[in-house]
Amino acid sequence: LHCVGMCGSIMGVLTFSLPVEIRSRSAQLAGFLSYYSLGRIFSYTLAGALAGAFGAGLLFRISPQYGHSILLLTATILMVAVGLYLAGWFPAFARIEKAGSPIWKKLEPLGRKLLPVTSPWQALLYGLIWGWLPCGLVYSALFIALGQGGWLQGGLFMLLFGIGTLPAVMATGIFAEQILRFARNPRMRMIAGFLLIAFALTGLIINW
């Protein structure tokens, strides 16, 4: 639901801005949505590789013995914060998502120049830019990528994270109106928030 709430409006706009002849053909529409997500996931993977490379040295600078645990604890706290934010109990978390605003302010105008999207290459390029949209859940995943031990492991982790977002984001593109209505339901957001907190704490217990 965080993916739907964060990226749903973007995917909805991108879907409805496509030519009618593309939107009316399910196969073509799915193809364009796949290119958007392919670009987005590539950017996540690149960010993960950079985080993993940086984190490999950071772990030893913090503590050779406890560096990984410290990063894991930080990532868990961030994921719990996202869960509380999703449930509607921690609106101040939105300030953390502003951390990536300077980068986004430079990239967003480039993305605007690609609109309206009329070709798969435009969709792919827009996806590459979209992947740098400030997002608390992505930041939490990047903190975990920091502790993976190297650029390859960090990139692989974020690749899998990106693949995990596909069902929600793709469904939003195909069933935009219905999915957005579902995502705005306070009860569903509360359940999703609880689940995210549970996943975060379970991951901490298993890996501590």
pLDDT in tens, 2-35: 677 677 667 777 877 788 888 788 788 889 989 9
CA distance 1 to 189: 7
Q: What are the tens digits of pLDDT across the range 103-135?
A: 889 998 999 899 888 899 999 999 999 999 988
- Tell me the per-residue pLDDT of 153-205, one tens digit each, with 9 for 90 and over: 999 999 999 999 888 887 776 666 566 666 677 888 888 889 889 988 998 88
Q: In whole angstroms, how large is the CA radius of gyration of the chain?
A: 18
pLDDT reported for residue 5: 66
Which residue shows structure tokens 């195909």? 174
Question: What's the mean pLDDT in 133-139?
Answer: 86
CA 80 – CA 48 distance, rounded (Å): 20
Measure Cα distances from 200 to 60, 80, 180 in Å.
24, 6, 25
Buried b vs exposed e over 57-67: b needs ≥16 C-beta within 10 Å? eebeeeeeeeb
Closest alpha carbon to 11 in 170, 138, 178: 170
Q: Does the pLDDT of residue 207 top 80, yes or no?
A: no
Nearest CA among 128, 129, 150, 130 for reference residue 59: 150
| AA letter at 165 | T
Return d(Cα 156, Cα 110) in angstroms, integer: 27
* pLDDT beyond 90 at 45: yes
Q: Is the pLDDT of residue 100 over 70?
A: yes
Tell me phi and psi for residue 171, to 5 degrees. -65, -35
Cα–Cα distance, 128 to 112 (Å, whole number): 13
Asked if 44 contacts 66 with a C-beta cutoff of 8 angstroms, the reply is no
The token pair at 61 is 């600078």
Amino acid at 92: A
Q: What is the pLDDT of residues 73-84, one digit of tens each?
A: 887 888 898 889
